[in-house]
Structure 1
Amino acid sequence: MISEKDFWYILAESHELKKDQLKACELFNDWLVLFRDKNGKACVLEDRCLHRTVQLSKGRVHNGHLQCGYHGWVYDGSGEVVQIPSEGPEMITKKKCAKTYDVIEQDDYIYVRLNSKPEIETKPFVMPSYKKKGYTTIRLQNTFENNVTNCAENFVDIPHTTFVHPKIFRDPGNEQLEAEVTRQKGHVKVTYLGEKKNFGLFSWFLNPKGSDIGHTDEFFMPNVTTVNYWFGGEKHFIITSQSIPLKDNKTLVYTDLTYNYGIWNYFSRPIIRKHGQAIIDQDIVILRDQMKGIEKYGTNFSYSPCDIIHTYIESIQKEIQEGRDPGLLPDRTSRIKFWI
């Protein structure tokens, strides 16, 4: 059966894990400890000493080895116990090994996969245009008090933007949009048609001529969303979010704001960071409020026709949670119209 633990999830940014440092992490309620071995390779162990179950993350790293802070048991990057101080300096003859996990370092993120023998073979998501010539990326980390599915749906949802992000992102403008929504092989793609305006404070900069805007939103199972805007064929802005399930209703989101504004890349950086974080802060509040409602009343949602994006994402998530491959769902394409 397929499991959410078959997929790759970000544990940290590469720069956060320097030599002789460690990082305590949480994923699906599991405790993990992250450190670099003597060769600089990122390693992940279960955050539990085999001796007396103290968290290894309360210990220290020295010369690529992780030492428990209670009785000093020492682990290498493969999880093997290489020293027990109370037994003296002699090499241990009876091997003991902590639980380890698969790790990949890619795009300056450190990814982990909890299932060592997954039902389906996957790779970490490749961050769009990261370090591509002409592009700049700003990275943000934020914690949401909601689950992965609701976070992902929020990140590709347009109707909420005029109510949650007025002025900063969009203004209510009585503008009708049309979109084509496709679900295929665990992937949902929304292509918006005829969008030309309504970007709040920055309409004058992003699309001063009122040209057609290229806009796509995408969801990649089980936790990645991307939003692409092409303004006038010259400016390109990408929002990529990876939602990491810490607990049932607590999600850590890594957000890449990647853009190509030509000569304006450097000057716009502090503005993009400030306003990008302001938009996320507003989403944190509304998603927290949503979860409070769900905890009281459950998930008996009502849907409108433009919510087909949500239902496609939820259908994929349901397949994973029930152990089935979402790639086997029938392909679907819908056309929708809605007002913002």
Structure 2
Amino acid sequence: MKFEDFWYVVALSKQLKSNQVLSRQVLGEWLAIFRTKNGKPVALQDRCTHRNSRLSCGKVQQGYLQCPYHGWVYDESGGVVSIPSEGENFKPRASLKAKQYHTCEQDGFIYVCLTEEIKPQFSPFSMPYYQQPGWHYVRVVHRFNNNVTNCAENFIDIPHTVSVHPGIFRKSYQQKLEMTVTRTQGTVIANYHNEDTNLGWWTRFLNPSHHKIYHSDRFFMPNITSVEYQFAPRRHLFITSQSVPETETSTLVYTDATFSYGIWSYLATPFVSYTAKRIIGQDVKILQIQQEVIEKYGEKFAHTQADTIHVFVESIRKAIAQGKDPRTLPDKTIEVTFWV
């Protein structure tokens, strides 16, 4: 198993117009993304086979991609279908082909899989309640100067919230929390117990009647995190992030805040949008600081009980990096107590 075997978001569906080509990078690979005449998304290696120009700097005409340097034209399979300098004498050659990658479109995202296999063994992650009746969502995109592992750990980490997001999403009350953390089949699940309404400026809106809170954080291999809160029958929230590895130190993160607040959902949308951008912006800064220290002193972490969820995430991503299947790791459950 390799990181290339999984699906990664390369664009929002609405970003890719029929006459447009997008430049993207996943796992260090340059990609040119465009649509065929029928609207199907295509991903080619961003390299013209002729003189190594970037195809993403070209143009799309009737579903074909034309190189900006000498005008060579590529179809959806990466094959060259026209060479202007050869005119009517042009004949297709198997040797003239740009590398093509698997693509699909789902939940308003365009995905690419870099696997060498004829058919990917996995499917893209299904976003919770995407466009389902009664549910609303806010979608934001941020670039982090850090790797996928550190981003994913940040998104499902409670202790940092009182320091990085004080007043917005928790205050330091030294509240005792308990969590059950399980690693199984390439996923990590953390269920929290006895959590109260210490949720910063969200408190009065999210849980005005002080219902019992259900809170669960999840990691799905190799790059998905999903935070779920349920405060009452009509107060339900998911924060789901897909961390896309552009390079070893650059991660593009697509985040959906999906919520169902009953009759208040429409009014809540701008509030959710503002808060999500504020919180993620703070995380961008703290992860930039972390990366600066890692570059100077190396990546060596100390762990406490509260970091159990991170240790499990790291074990899964380390297994994939070593070419192993993390689903073969032994199932493990740990009970943890910590304070925030």
TM-score, L = length of structure 1: 0.98
Asked if the contact 1:142/1:253 (under 8 Å) is kept, the reply is: yes
- The alpha-carbon deviation at position 116 of structure 1 amounts to 2.9
Partner of 1:290: 290
Between the aligned partners of 1:118 and 1:127, the Cα distance in structure 2 is 25
Between the aligned partners of 1:145 and 1:314, the Cα distance in structure 2 is 18
Between the aligned partners of 1:249 and 1:46, the Cα distance in structure 2 is 21
Asked if the contact 2:36/2:64 (under 8 Å) is kept, the reply is: yes
Aligned-residue sequence identity (percent) comes to: 48
Between the aligned partners of 2:238 and 2:300, the Cα distance in structure 1 is 33
Partner of 1:4: 3
Between the aligned partners of 1:310 and 1:101, the Cα distance in structure 2 is 32
2:202 is paired with a residue whose SS is: helix
Partner of 2:170: 170
**Partner amino acid, structure 1, of 2:162:** T
Asked if the contact 1:165/1:282 (under 8 Å) is kept, the reply is: yes
Asked if the contact 1:83/1:89 (under 8 Å) is kept, the reply is: no
**Partner amino acid, structure 2, of 1:208:** P
Alignment RMSD (CA, Å) = 1.2
- The alpha-carbon deviation at position 118 of structure 1 amounts to 7.8
Asked if the contact 2:113/2:120 (under 8 Å) is kept, the reply is: no
- The alpha-carbon deviation at position 163 of structure 1 amounts to 0.5
Asked if the contact 1:102/1:116 (under 8 Å) is kept, the reply is: no
- The alpha-carbon deviation at position 250 of structure 1 amounts to 0.5
- The alpha-carbon deviation at position 89 of structure 1 amounts to 3.4
- The alpha-carbon deviation at position 140 of structure 1 amounts to 0.4
Partner of 2:161: 161
- The alpha-carbon deviation at position 232 of structure 1 amounts to 2.0
Between the aligned partners of 1:230 and 1:93, the Cα distance in structure 2 is 58
Asked if the contact 2:221/2:316 (under 8 Å) is kept, the reply is: yes
- The alpha-carbon deviation at position 28 of structure 1 amounts to 1.1
- The alpha-carbon deviation at position 108 of structure 1 amounts to 1.1
Structure 2 unaligned blocks of 5 or more: none
1:1-340 to 2 correspondences below 5 Å:
2-95=1-94, 96-117=96-117, 121-340=121-340
Q: Structure 1 runs of 4+ off > 3 angstroms?
A: none
Q: Closer, same or farther in 2 for the Cα pair 1:93/1:62, shift >3 Å?
A: closer
Between the aligned partners of 2:3 and 2:36, the Cα distance in structure 1 is 27
Between the aligned partners of 1:241 and 1:212, the Cα distance in structure 2 is 25
Q: Closer, same or farther in 2 for the Cα pair 1:66/1:112, shift >3 Å?
A: same
Structure 1 unaligned blocks of 5 or more: none
Asked if the contact 1:6/1:119 (under 8 Å) is kept, the reply is: no
Between the aligned partners of 2:305 and 2:98, the Cα distance in structure 1 is 51
